[in-house]
A and B are shown apart, each in its own frame.
Chain A
Amino acid sequence: MGNMNKLLHKPFKAFTIYALLILAASIPVYFYVVDFIWNKELDEHNQIVKERIESRMTSIRMPEQKLDTIIKFWNIMQPGTNMVPVTIPLQKDSIYTVIRENQHGDKIELDRFRGLAAPITIADKHYLLTVETNVEETDETLIAIALVTVAFFSLLVIGFIILNKRIARRIWQPFQNTLEKLKTFDLATHNDITFEKSDIEEFETLNQTLTKLINKNITVYQIQKRFIENASHELQTPLAVLKSKADLLLQQKSITGEQLEILNAFNIPLSRVTRINKNLLLLAKIENHQFENTEVNELAAIVSESLEMLSDYTADKGIQPEFHPLETPVILGNRSLLEILINNLLTNAIRHNNVNGKLIIEIKNNTLSVSNSGVDPLRSGELFRRFSVSSSETTSSGLGLSIVKEICNRYHWEIVYDFDQNKHRFTVRF
């Protein structure tokens, strides 16, 4: 029944079981009711037959001997009734049920009979009159009722399934629409979300509540974003002054070796703060779509330039980069952003590389992969989160991969990380 009916499955199951129980319980009830009516009708029928016989028999006048002969013939001609003379008459009518073999027919089988035994008086002589009528057997009635019930139950279940499907498709449509909208919603793209109007109260309430919730989230998100942006803007100037003062201090003629050491130690965290601040501003700019203009870029050329720029750092670590551009794809996007993406991936691969380690860059099938030697795999779940990789390394801003991720999000590129044969590998699919 597909995804749509998942919720309706539950009541459907319950309804079906309930219907099954009720119908099963109805089988004995039906049986007793039918049997009761049947017996009652037959008793009435037997009574009528008895009364008819009694009134006819008592109305004829004839000699005793002739009467005996007639009664004998009667008993032979009328198989359902029997009259026998008795000396002591029965006090009142009695009803009985008997099962016996039916001797008149090809097959010999057991039949059920409903009987009436009544005393009658013909010409002052007492007789016992019995009237018997064939009744349907109990098991036959039971089977018939059960069969009918099963048939109706099947009809009921088929009806349930069809109705369920139809109701699900129609009634849950607005819910489905809402769900689809929510799935595609992304806070960072700050696109407003509007749900379709629904005439079902619950869905309309759901949509309104969701709209309220989402709007609140968008507001909070934007306030937070603006806060980060403003904070890093405000930090720029004091950082510039700090850096400036450190430069001036370095020029002091009277500075001692000890003081120089302190000054150097002071410069390291300062440049880290500067870097973090710069990256936060960059992230804010990417999020605010400040890199609008799109160019046609040759991927391989940008990678080559970046490698050239980093050649001092690779040489320093004894790394010989291997660059395999198996294809030369052109990438549409902002050139600065593409450069930042490639620079960040390459600097990461150099910084976290072993001395004399490997650095392999491949371009194929519209993907760019950067792999470098490493020992332990990174926790891929948290890799792209801001400041997730708390590092003792002084220059790590903890934002390099967040920026890479943000750029990929912006252009709907896909980035994955894997660790294979002692190599970290980042792959961007354009």
Chain B
Amino acid sequence: MKILIVEDEKELALDIAQYMSGENYLCEIASTYFQALEKISLYNYDCILLDLMLPGGDGLKILDALKEQRKTDGVIILSAKNALEDKIKGLQLGADDYLAKPFHHSELAARIHSVIRRKQFDNSDVIALEELRIDLQAKSITVNDKPVVLTKKEFDLLLFFIGNKNKVISKSALAEHLSGDIADMFDNHDFVYAHVKNLKRKLTESGYNNYLKTIYGTGYKWEI
């Protein structure tokens, strides 16, 4: 799967590419407005990560260009401005998601995973992983064809882990994922531990292998 990273901060672009490289993703980088325009007209991407403040032009215009060329690439806006107007405007112009800088790579990976999945499977949205099947429409899972009841937060966590296979995910990244902006107002994220523990218990009780590893003092890793 191909990802285009439109980002003028080279370090950040390379880091994203490095984080995503473990999966079967192929990342390309465009660091100016014109480079980005050139690349989107030449190739098709599964997902485009779009910084709005680019040397040479406004990132939102790239959304216009995609629309004109009738391209259906998934787009996630990455913005340092975190302005509501930008978010609304971007989503209206056809972006699929919006992520404010600074962000955890795991959060970005989960969103990329979700955008690509939506683009590829449209309605019959089921993820199969070994003996686990996740129905994204019904928000339900089965293990060995037996249904397992998860809370909304446990379901969210499961998707997050699956979007970050074989990555170490810090507790704070999980807390941010679950409670958004509020998370960084607290220094105690112990509730994450409780949710993960419950998820783990439910999965193992129903016969799923223990893929979810605890990294002591740091976070978790979905090893598969």
Contacts and interface: CB of A to CB of B under 8 A. Distances in A.
A206 to B, nearest CB: 43
Nearest to A290: B83
Interface residues of A, number: 45
B15 A248 contact: yes
A396 to B, nearest CB: 9
A399 to B, nearest CB: 11
Contacts of A243: 102-104
A141 to B, nearest CB: 92
Interface of A, helix, strand, loop or mixed by DSSP: helix
Nearest to B168: A250
B101 A336 contact: no
A251 B11 contact: no
Contacts of A245: 11, 15
B105 A400 contact: no
Interface string B168-206: 101011000011111011111011000100000000000
Interface in A289-341: 290-291, 309-310, 312-313, 315-316, 336
B188 A316 contact: yes
Chain B: interface size category: 35 or more
B137 interface: no
B19 interface: yes
Contacts of B215: 260
B23 to A, nearest CB: 12
Interface string B95-106: 000000111111
B217 A264 contact: yes
B103 A351 contact: no
B218 A241 contact: no
A248 B105 contact: yes
B170 A250 contact: yes
B217 A395 contact: no
A279 B180 CA distance: 15
A244 B167 contact: no
A351 B185 CA distance: 8
A274 interface: yes
Given A267-B172, A312-B191, A393-B187, A244 B102 contact: yes
A400 B185 CA distance: 9
Contact of A250 (B103, B185, B218): B218
B99 to A, nearest CB: 11
A251 B167 contact: yes
Contacts of A260: 215-218
B83 A395 contact: no
Interface stretch (A53-61, A82-90, A231-239): A231-239
3 cross-chain pairs, A with B, having the tightest CB-CB distances, nearest first: A240-B102, A312-B191, A236-B80
27 contacts: A233-B80, A240-B80, A244-B11, A244-B12, A244-B105, A247-B15, A247-B104, A247-B106, A248-B105, A257-B216, A257-B217, A260-B215, A260-B218, A264-B217, A267-B172, A268-B187, A271-B184, A285-B83, A310-B179, A313-B179, A313-B188, A313-B191, A316-B191, A343-B181, A393-B187, A395-B185, A400-B185
Given A247-B15, A316-B191, 11 more contacts: A240-B9, A242-B102, A243-B102, A243-B103, A244-B16, A271-B172, A278-B82, A290-B83, A312-B191, A347-B182, A395-B184
